[in-house]
C-alpha cells in the first residue's frame, strides 16, 4: 500500500472518529440534561443544612446537605477579627433570634452538580459540590451579612444582597466571579430577575432590629426603596419609593419596607408585603401606583405589641400559581397560610401553620409550599381548594424553599 493511500485512509478514519466523537459528545450532553431531577431545596437556617425533597406530590425527603463544611475555618477567622466578631454576635442575638444564621437562600447550578448558598452569619456565598459536599468556591460579600438571592432565568447568574453594605453583588454561578454590583437602599433584602433576564428588582427593608416600631417612628428605619437596574450593565433604571405611593392613597401609617414580592405572569402587577401589615398590596407597574390593598385576618392569639414580631414581620412569604389566578400568603406571626383569589382578593381557608416564613410553588404548579419555621416542617397547600395536602419534617428553622435540579440518582453527598 502506498504512503499516499495510507495517509488518505488515516484521514478518513480520523474524520469518522471526529464525527462519532461529536455525536457522542452531543448525546452525552443530552443524556446529562435528561438525567437531572427536579427537587426542592429547603434551607434550615439554624441547622446549617439544606434538605432536598421531591418537588411535587408527597414532598418526600431525598437527601441532606451540610452547607457549612468549612464552619470551623470560618469561625476561626471571625474570632480573630474583633469587628467581624461583633457583627457575628449581633446577627446571632438580633435577626437570628439567638441562633447563628447559617443558610438563607440557595439555588442549583444549571448542570445540577452544585448548590449555591448565601450564609448570613459568615457574610458569604459558597458553591457546594453535591457529589462530595465540599466547597467549590467562596465569595465574601461586602460588609458583614449576606441575605436573599435571585437566579437569572438562564440560571447562569446569581444576585445576592449584602445587607450591611447596601449593595447587591451579581456573580457567575459556576465560578463565583463577580460580574457586577449596584447600590441599593438600606438593608437590601428581596431580589427578583424579570423573566426576560433584563432587569433586577431589589427591595430594601431598612433596619428591622430596633424597637422603634410604632407607626410614627417609621422614619427611623432608614432609606427603604425598590431599586431597578439593568441586569447587564448594573446601571440604575428607576427607583420606586413606596412611601409616596402609600401616602397618595391615605395609608400614611403603613410601613414602606417592601418584603417578599411576586410578579403576575405578564409582570404588569407586583404583589408585595410590607413590615407590620397582615396582608399585601397590588402595584401597577405601568401606572406606577398602588391599585389594591388586601387586609387578611388577624389571629386573636397574636400579640399586638409590634416589638414582639420577628424582624418587623407580620406576614412574610408570598407566591402565585403559574396561571396567575391564585396567590398564596404566609401569615408568619398569625400562624396561618391562605390561598387568595387574585381577581376578587377573597381569601380561602386559614390553614394553621407554625410561623410560616416563605411561600413557593410546587414543581407541577398545583400546590403552594410553605416553610413552617416554628414546626420544622414544610407544608403543601392545594391552590385549587386552599386545603393542606401534606407536611414533611425538615431541619431546624426552615426558611427559604427553592425549586432546583440534582442528578437523577442523587441521594446525598458521598462520605469523605
Domain edges within the chain: 37-407
Quick: pLDDT tens for 73-93.
999 999 999 999 999 999 998
CA dihedral sign of residues 210, 212, 216, 220: negative
Which pLDDT band holds residue 9 (cuts at 50, 70, 90)?
Answer: very low
Please work out, in degrees rounded to the nearest 5, the angle formed at the alpha carbon of residue 362 by the alpha carbons of 359 and 368. Answer: 40
For residues 374-401, average pLDDT? 98
Banded model confidence at residue 329, pLDDT cuts 50, 70, 90: very high
Question: What is the structure's pLDDT at 310?
Answer: 87
- CATH placement of domain 37-407: 2.130.10.10
Give the pLDDT confidence score for residue 315 in this predicted structure: 97
Is pLDDT above 60 for 55? yes
Closest to 83 measured CA to CA, from 26, 137, 145: 145
pTM of the model: 0.90
Residues present in the chain in total? 416
Pairing relationship of beta strands 226-230 and 236-240 according to DSSP bridges: antiparallel
Please give the Cα distance from 190 to 48 (Å, whole number). Answer: 21
Radius of gyration of the chain from its Cα atoms, rounded to whole angstroms: 23
- Model pLDDT, residue 25: 43
Q: Which residue has the higher pLDDT, 60 or 15?
A: 60
pLDDT in tens, 179-199: 999 999 999 999 999 999 999
- What is the 3-state secondary structure of the chain? CCHHHHHHHHHHHHHHHHHHHHHHHHHHHHHHHHCEEEEEEEEECCCCEEEEEECCCCCCEEEEEECCCCHHHHHHHHHCCHHHHHHHHHHHHCCCCCCCCCCCCEEECCCCCEEEEEEHHHCEEEEEECCCCCEEEEEECCCCCEEEEEECCCCCEEEEEECCCCEEEEEECCCCCEEEEEECCCCEEEEEECCCCCEEEEEECCCCCCCCCCHHHHHHHCCCCEEEEECCCCCEEEEECHHHHHHHCCCCCCCCCEEEEEECCCCCEEEEEECCCCEEEEEECCCCEEEEEEECCCCCCCCCCHHHCHHHCCCCCEEECCCCCEEEEEECCCCEEEEEECCCCCECCCEECCCEEEEEECCCCCEEEEEECCCCEEEEEECCCCCEEEEEECCCCEEEEEEEEEECCCCCCCCC
pLDDT score for 415: 60
| 149-173 pLDDT, tens digit each | 999 999 999 999 999 999 999 999 9
Whether residue 229 contacts residue 179, with contact meaning beta carbons closer than 8 Å, is answered with: no
Q: What is the mean pLDDT of the chain?
A: 92
Q: What is the arithmetic mean of pLDDT over 38-45? A: 98
Per residue in 99-150, pLDDT tens?
A: 999 999 999 999 999 999 999 999 999 999 999 999 999 999 999 999 999 9
Residue 116, all three cell numbers: 449555591
For 273-303, what is each residue's pLDDT tens digit? 999 999 999 999 999 999 999 999 999 999 9
Arithmetic mean of pLDDT, 37-65: 97
- pLDDT at 24 (0 to 100): 45
Are 48 and 68 spatial neighbours (Cβ–Cβ below 8 Å)?
yes
Instruction: Cell numbers for 335, please give them.
Output: 400562624
CB atoms within 10 A of CB 349: 14
- pLDDT of res. 94: 85
% pLDDT > 90, the chain: 87
Determine the pLDDT at residue 34.
58
pLDDT of residue 267: 98
pLDDT of residue 156: 97
Amino acid at each position: 500500500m502506498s504512503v499516499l493511500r495510507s495517509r488518505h485512509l488515516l484521514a478518513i478514519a480520523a474524520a469518522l472518529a471526529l464525527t462519532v466523537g461529536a455525536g457522542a459528545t452531543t448525546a452525552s450532553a443530552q443524556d446529562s440534561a435528561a438525567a437531572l431531577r427536579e427537587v426542592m431545596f429547603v434551607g434550615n437556617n439554624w441547622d446549617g443544612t439544606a434538605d432536598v425533597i421531591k418537588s411535587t406530590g408527597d414532598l418526600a425527603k431525598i437527601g441532606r446537605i451540610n452547607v457549612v463544611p468549612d464552619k470551623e475555618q470560618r469561625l476561626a477567622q471571625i474570632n480573630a477579627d474583633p469587628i467581624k466578631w461583633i457583627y457575628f454576635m449581633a446577627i446571632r442575638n438580633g435577626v437570628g433570634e439567638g441562633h447563628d444564621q447559617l443558610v438563607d437562600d440557595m439555588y442549583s447550578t444549571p448542570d445540577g452538580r452544585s448548590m449555591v448558598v448565601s450564609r448570613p452569619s459568615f457574610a458569604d456565598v459558597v458553591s457546594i459540590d453535591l457529589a462530595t459536599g465540599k466547597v467549590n468556591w467562596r465569595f465574601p460579600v461586602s460588609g458583614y451579612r449576606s441575605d436573599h438571592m435571585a437566579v437569572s432565568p438562564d440560571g447562569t447568574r446569581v444576585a445576592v444582597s449584602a445587607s450591611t453594605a447596601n449593595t447587591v453583588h451579581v456573580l457567575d454561578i459556576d465560578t463565583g466571579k463577580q460580574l457586577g454590583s449596584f447600590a441599593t437602599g438600606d438593608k437590601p433584602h428581596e431580589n427578583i430577575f424579570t423573566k426576560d433576564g433584563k432587569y433586577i428588582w431589589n427591595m430594601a427593608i431598612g433596619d428591622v432590629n430596633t424597637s422603634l416600631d410604632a407607626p410614627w417612628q417609621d422614619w427611623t428605619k432608614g432609606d427603604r426603596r425598590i431599586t431597578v437596574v439593568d441586569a447587564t450593565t448594573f446601571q440604575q433604571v428607576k427607583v420606586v419609593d413606596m412611601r409616596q405611593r402609600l401616602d397618595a392613597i391615605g395609608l400614611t401609617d403603613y410601613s414602606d419596607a417592601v418584603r417578599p414580592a411576586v410578579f403576575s405572569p405578564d409582570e404588569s402587577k407586583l404583589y408585595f408585603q410590607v413590615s407590620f401589615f397582615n396582608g399585601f398590596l397590588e402595584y401597577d407597574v405601568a401606572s406606577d401606583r398602588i391599585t389594591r390593598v388586601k387586609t387578611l385576618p388577624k389571629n386573636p392569639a397574636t400579640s399586638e405589641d409590634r416589638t414582639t414580631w420577628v424582624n418587623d414581620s407580620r406576614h412574610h412569604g408570598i407566591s402565585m400559581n403559574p396561571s396567575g389566578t391564585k396567590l398564596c400568603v404566609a401569615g408568619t406571626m398569625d400562624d396561618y397560610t391562605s390561598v387568595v383569589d387574585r381577581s376578587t382578593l377573597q381569601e380561602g381557608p386559614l390553614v394553621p401553620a407554625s410561623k410560616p416564613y416563605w411561600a413557593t410553588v410546587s414543581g407541577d404548579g398545583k400546590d403552594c409550599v410553605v416553610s413552617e419555621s416554628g414546626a420544622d416542617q414544610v407544608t403543601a397547600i392545594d391552590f385549587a381548594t386552599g386545603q393542606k395536602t401534606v407536611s414533611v419534617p425538615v431541619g431546624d428553622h426552615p426558611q427559604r424553599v427553592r425549586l432546583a435540579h440534582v442528578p437523577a440518582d442523587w441521594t446525598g453527598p458521598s462520605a469523605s
